[in-house]
Amino acid sequence: MLDFIKSLEWADLFLMIAVLILLVLFLFRGRGWSIKKLPSSNRMGGYALFYADQKQNGKNEENFGKLLHSAEYELQGKPDYIYKKRLGKGLVPVELKSGKIGDDPLPHRGDLLQLAAYFLIIEDVYGVRPKFGRLVYSDYMFVVKNIKSLRKEVLNTTKEMREMLIYGVGKANPSFVTCRYCVCNGTVCEYSGTEIIGGKGNESSCREE
């Protein structure tokens, strides 16, 4: 092996090293973080405000205050803010939440799906796929990458919701993560008084026995 390496020209050796580096980068591509928790901040360095869900201090920008509608995905909504990269076309949706996230390592599922829905809406309306977005709570924020699995989860969830509206029947998926922040937990939900996957339901269910 050593004789083989010694017989190589410097140019060949550099080429082999470059190929190995590219191979390592390819193998580990996409294995990094998809959601990162950071201290809460409203700063968007290198970006300018492009859209807001309400008019801003008398400004008359066309994008401010309007409802965004995606005909392709049949989704509509008003993100709190969308920032545009000063040098480039990149768009970043930002959702502000008044509550705290505390020690939870991930954002609430409903908030995450809401942000992911805005990924799809923005891509369809403005023709630019956001690379990431922000969920900003009062104590922490999450930087969320716009990955394929997250977009797929939004599409599957909206499909289930539409089927529920049509047929009046939905498939329950009770779990600790799904149910703990739901407004129906402990009130009208039939699963509130039962043990659910990952934890226990709220014992103070209001359903009739």
pLDDT digits (tens, 9 = 90+) for 19-78: 666 654 544 444 467 999 999 998 898 999 999 988 766 555 777 888 999 999 999 999
CA neighbor of 79 nearest in space, from 57, 63, 90: 63
pLDDT at residue 31, as a whole number: 47
Q: Encode burial over 170-206: b for 16+ CB neighbours within 10 A, e otherwise.
A: eeeebeeebbbebeebbeebebbbeebeeeebbeebe
Quote the tokens at residue 16.
Answer: 């082999």
pLDDT at 198 over 50: no
State which of 32-41, 128-137, 183-192 shows the largest mean pLDDT: 128-137
Residue 4 lies in a domain: no
Are residues 203 and 116 part of one domain?
no
Are residues 102 and 73 part of one domain?
yes
Are residues 144 and 90 part of one domain?
yes
Average pLDDT, the chain: 78
> SS3 of 25, please?
helix
Residue 89 lies in a domain: yes
**pTM beyond 0.85, yes or no:** no
Residue 20 lies in a domain: no
Distance CA 199, CA 186 (A): 14
Residue 5 lies in a domain: no
Within 127-209, residue ranges assigned H as helices are: 148-167, 176-179
